[in-house]
């Protein structure tokens, strides 16, 4: 027989649901810096100029070896310009300093957005008075800053939750708009997966007792402020690896430039120090070196805009490399509110008898499933006024897996899992009823068996109610996109294998895990990781904590327990399980952006070779003038134009670094091909045009042209 997951009634039904719609721009975190328009970006850049100047401090720059080397070159060029004044050395010094400044500006603008978001969060944080509950049940008023882990506090309607914790007693409607920006209140209750409350939120109704799980200064809000401000950001493994590559390239070019003076002297074309510095700055990967930090910060910022907090940059990066997604069926792939669609009576039972029995058994069931059974019965002609006297309702429990009603006179009616009803009746179920149960399961529905026991020992299975779980619109297309990117989707459900298979086929997922226990999820994750794959999953309950901790990307719902949020490395403030797909796309966009700008930066060097090398040696080797394909005016204008382009391209790419390269669902080979075509070829061609246009202006400067 099939099993069912009929839940106990929950107060989240109705307008106070946690299923806040996912929308970019939701929440206070987003309103501060949601626009990426050029006008707004220009204003942000202007506001961050003082910070960019402060970052010229070599104690800050040494953490970025590429920019630090440009800073050293700027100092040397400035010294030369002071000792031996001349327009060429002076202009070179100016633009080398601007190169460092523009690199600092990219990082400052990215950090500035986070600081603005942090300021908005700080405005929501306030010291409150907590009513501390002692063992005797008495309360004492204390400042929230004195609360310790393990304390219990009482919070009633109109009061602010003084600290992070779990509801251990009571149920209440809570306003979380200060954290999530969602105006609709949510339900928080003891003993479930919606027990976590956040300090700074407001209780709107009833009374709850909260067990404090975070000390003052270590609350969720404090972590949010630290994260969006960037004070706790650490470089990710890929970022570190790319930094090592950039340093290696810099050392190679430094060695190459260092060997040029003796060779140039031997060739009869001695080179000035400022020319060698200009050559080095143009050859090393200055562009990506200047933008690398901003790209990483902006990646976390894009997550914040969709109301997701990443506890580390490593998690964002891992999201881009994920190859297996574990997704809950209910609420993620399906709408979750199973609806009664048909009454299938047993042989010898009329549809009216089954309809009326199912309605009576569901009158006290306030779950969406229970209400849908009553609604279906009324739509098929049941009399809403015809209620027997002396009804005694029996609530659903996880142990019995059924609910129902006891009527006056001794008749009992129950609805629930097939195996549970069969055990309660103590009889063999009619084969036609068993076939109907299996057929519903194969269709992806949930079969609910209705049984009856009479006062004189009569026992009968009256029939089956077909509960239908509807797959969300567009999910099959999204899974197809993920498949095209090489990502495997796995549906996780507590339903039996037949039901799980039918839903999986309809939704288009690659695999499913039926009747899943916490141990099953953990084992599946470890098996995938043993095969070299990165795994992402969502969860909200304490029983999800082991799997969330084991997953490479564990997204905990903000509505879930503190244990789940501590175990995951991301928290979704909207508590929307489908957000996992968006997180993967943002992670991939981060990696694609970093790769695209690295490709563009390295490709830039080709044009600079054609600009600087002929200019340096054309006096000794006139035949090198053939390499002056851009027709640059003079050797000095060629070198200065290349340096100016090298600085300006950083500014031009700041919007792209912050916004990210447009993400398109495609296989890795297709993404690489597009990057090479757009950013590789573009990185070769754009400098030729840019340097030539700059040369037309530079050549008009006295002493340069």
Q: Annotation-wise, does 538 bind a ligand?
A: no
Asked if residues 264 and 627 have their Cβ atoms less than 8 Å apart, the reply is no
Spatial distance between the Cα atoms of 172 and 174, rounded to a whole number of angstroms: 6
Helix, strand and coil in the chain, % to nearest 5: 50, 15, 35
Q: How far apart are the first and last CA of the chain?
A: 89
Which residues have CB under 8 Å from 165's CB, separation 6+? 153, 196, 197, 210, 211, 212, 213, 214, 562
Asked if residues 421 and 459 have their Cβ atoms less than 8 Å apart, the reply is no
DSSP codes, 368-394: HHHHHHHHHHHHTT--TT---SS-EEE
Q: Annotation-wise, does 400 bind a ligand?
A: yes
Helix (H) or strand (E) holding 155: strand 152-156
Q: Annotation-wise, does 398 bind a ligand?
A: yes
Helix residue ranges, H only, 125-195 = 177-180
Q: Annotation-wise, does 540 bind a ligand?
A: yes
Q: Annotation-wise, does 152 bind a ligand?
A: no
From the list 101, 100, 103, the residue with the least C-alpha distance to 277 is 100
Q: Annotation-wise, does 403 bind a ligand?
A: yes
Which residues have CB under 8 Å from 33's CB, separation 6+? 44, 113, 116, 117, 301
Which residues have CB under 8 Å from 660's CB, separation 6+? 298, 299, 302, 589, 590, 592, 593
Quick check: is 328 catalytic? yes
Q: Annotation-wise, does 169 bind a ligand?
A: no
Spatial distance between the Cα atoms of 573 and 559, rounded to a whole number of angstroms: 8
DSSP codes, 52-76: HHHTTSHHHHTTSHHHHHHHHHHHH
Asked if residues 665 and 484 have their Cβ atoms less than 8 Å apart, the reply is yes
Per-residue CA distances from 110 to 169, 318, 388 (Å) = 43, 21, 68
Q: Annotation-wise, does 472 bind a ligand?
A: no
Q: Annotation-wise, does 383 bind a ligand?
A: no
Give the number of other CB atoms < 10 A from CB of residue 248.
Answer: 10
Strand order in the sheet with 446-453: 339-345, 459-468, 446-453, 412-416, 402-406, 392-394
Q: Annotation-wise, does 396 bind a ligand?
A: yes
651 CB-contact burial (10 Å; exposed 0-12 / middle 13-18 / buried 19+) = middle
Per-residue CA distances from 544 to 160, 504, 540 (Å) = 28, 21, 7
Which residues have CB under 8 Å from 601's CB, separation 6+? 285, 286, 287, 288, 289, 683
From the list 450, 425, 422, the residue with the least C-alpha distance to 361 is 450
267-273: Cβ within 8 A, 24+ apart? 267/617, 267/620, 267/621, 268/620, 269/616, 269/617, 269/619, 269/620, 269/621, 271/616, 272/80, 273/76, 273/77, 273/80
From the list 135, 140, 139, 175, the residue with the least C-alpha distance to 157 is 175
**How many CA atoms, within 13 angstroms, populate the side-chain half-sphere of residue 328?**
25
Retrieve residue 315's tokens. 């998690």
Q: Annotation-wise, does 544 bind a ligand?
A: yes
> Which residue among the candidates 18, 151, 166, 328 is catalytic per the annotation?
328
385 CB-contact burial (10 Å; exposed 0-12 / middle 13-18 / buried 19+) = exposed
Residue list, annotated binding site: 365, 369, 396-403, 415, 540, 544
Catalytic residues: 328
Residue list, annotated binding site for ATP: 365, 369, 396-403, 415
Residue list, annotated binding site for Mg(2+): 540, 544
């Amino acid at each position: 027989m099939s099993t069912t997951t009929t839940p106990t009634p929950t107060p989240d039904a109705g307008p106070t649901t946690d299923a806040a719609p996912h929308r970019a721009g939701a929440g206070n975190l987003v309103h501060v810096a949601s626009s990426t328009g050029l006008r707004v970006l220009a204003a942000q850049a202007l506001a961050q100029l003082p910070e960019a100047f402060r970052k010229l401090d070599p104690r800050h720059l040494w953490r970025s070896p590429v920019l630090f080397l440009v800073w050293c070159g700027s100092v040397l060029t400035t010294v030369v310009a002071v000792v031996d004044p001349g327009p060429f050395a002076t202009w070179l010094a100016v633009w080398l300093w601007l190169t460092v400044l523009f690199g600092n500006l990219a990082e400052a603008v990215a950090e500035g957005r986070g600081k603005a978001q942090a300021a908005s969060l700080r405005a929501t944080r306030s010291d409150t008075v907590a009513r501390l509950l002692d063992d005797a049940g008495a309360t004492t008023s204390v400042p929230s800053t004195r609360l310790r882990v393990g304390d219990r506090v009482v919070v009633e309607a109109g009061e602010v939750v003084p600290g992070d914790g779990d509801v251990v007693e009571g149920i209440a409607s809570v306003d979380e708009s200060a954290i999530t920006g969602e105006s609709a209140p949510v339900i928080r209750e003891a003993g479930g997966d919606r027990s976590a409350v956040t300090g700074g939120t407001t209780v709107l109704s009833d009374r709850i007792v909260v067990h404090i799980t975070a000390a003052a200064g270590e609350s969720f809000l404090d972590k949010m402020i630290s994260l969006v401000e960037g004070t706790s950001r650490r470089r990710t493994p890929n970022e570190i690896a790319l930094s090592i590559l950039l340093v290696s390239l810099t050392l190679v070019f430094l060695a190459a430039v260092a060997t040029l003076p003796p060779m140039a002297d031997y060739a009869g074309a001695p080179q000035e120090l400022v020319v060698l510095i200009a050559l080095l700055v143009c050859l090393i990967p200055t562009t990506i070196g200047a933008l690398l930090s901003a790209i990483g910060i902006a990646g976390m910022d894009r997550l914040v805009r969709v109301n997701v907090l990443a506890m580390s940059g490593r998690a964002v990066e891992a999201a881009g490399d994920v190859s297996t997604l574990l997704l809950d069926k209910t609420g993620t792939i399906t709408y979750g509110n199973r609806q009664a669609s048909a009454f299938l009576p047993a042989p010898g039972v009329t549809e009216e008898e089954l309809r009326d029995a199912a309605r009576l058994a569901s009158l006290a069931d306030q779950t969406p499933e229970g209400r849908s059974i009553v609604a279906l019965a009324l739509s098929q002609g049941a009399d809403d006024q015809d209620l027997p006297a002396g009804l005694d309702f029996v609530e659903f429990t996880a142990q019995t897996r059924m609910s129902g009603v006891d009527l006056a006179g001794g008749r009992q009616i129950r609805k629930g899992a097939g195996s549970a009803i069969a055990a309660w009746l103590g009889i063999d179920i009619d084969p036609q009823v068993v076939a109907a149960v299996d057929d519903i399961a194969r269709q992806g529905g949930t079969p609910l068996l209705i049984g009856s026991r009479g006062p004189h020992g009569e026992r009968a299975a009256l029939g089956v109610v077909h509960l239908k779980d509807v797959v969300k619109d567009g999910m099959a297309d999204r899974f197809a996109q993920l498949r095209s990117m090489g990502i495997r989707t796995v549906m996780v459900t507590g339903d039996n294998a037949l039901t799980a298979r039918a839903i999986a086929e309809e939704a288009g997922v690659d695999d499913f895990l039926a009747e899943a226990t916490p141990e099953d999820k953990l084992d599946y994750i470890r098996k995938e990781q043993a095969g070299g794959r990165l795994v992402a999953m969502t969860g909200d309950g304490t029983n999800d904590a082991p799997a969330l901790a084991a997953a490479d990307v564990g997204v905990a719902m903000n509505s879930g327990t503190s244990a789940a949020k501590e175990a995951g490395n991301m928290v979704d403030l909207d508590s929307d399980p489908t957000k996992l797909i968006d997180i993967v796309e943002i992670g991939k966009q981060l990696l694609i952006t970093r790769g695209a700008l690295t490709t563009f930066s390295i490709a830039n060097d080709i044009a600079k070779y054609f600009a600087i090398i002929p200019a340096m040696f054309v006096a000794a080797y006139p035949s090198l003038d053939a390499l002056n394909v851009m027709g640059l005016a003079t050797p000095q204008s060629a070198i200065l134009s290349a340096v100016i382009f090298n600085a300006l391209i950083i500014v031009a790419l700041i919007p792209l670094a912050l916004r990210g390269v447009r993400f398109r669902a495609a296989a890795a080979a297709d993404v690489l091909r597009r990057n090479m075509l757009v950013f590789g070829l573009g990185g070769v061609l754009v400098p030729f045009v840019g340097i030539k246009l700059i040369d037309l202006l530079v050549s008009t400067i006295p002493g340069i042209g």
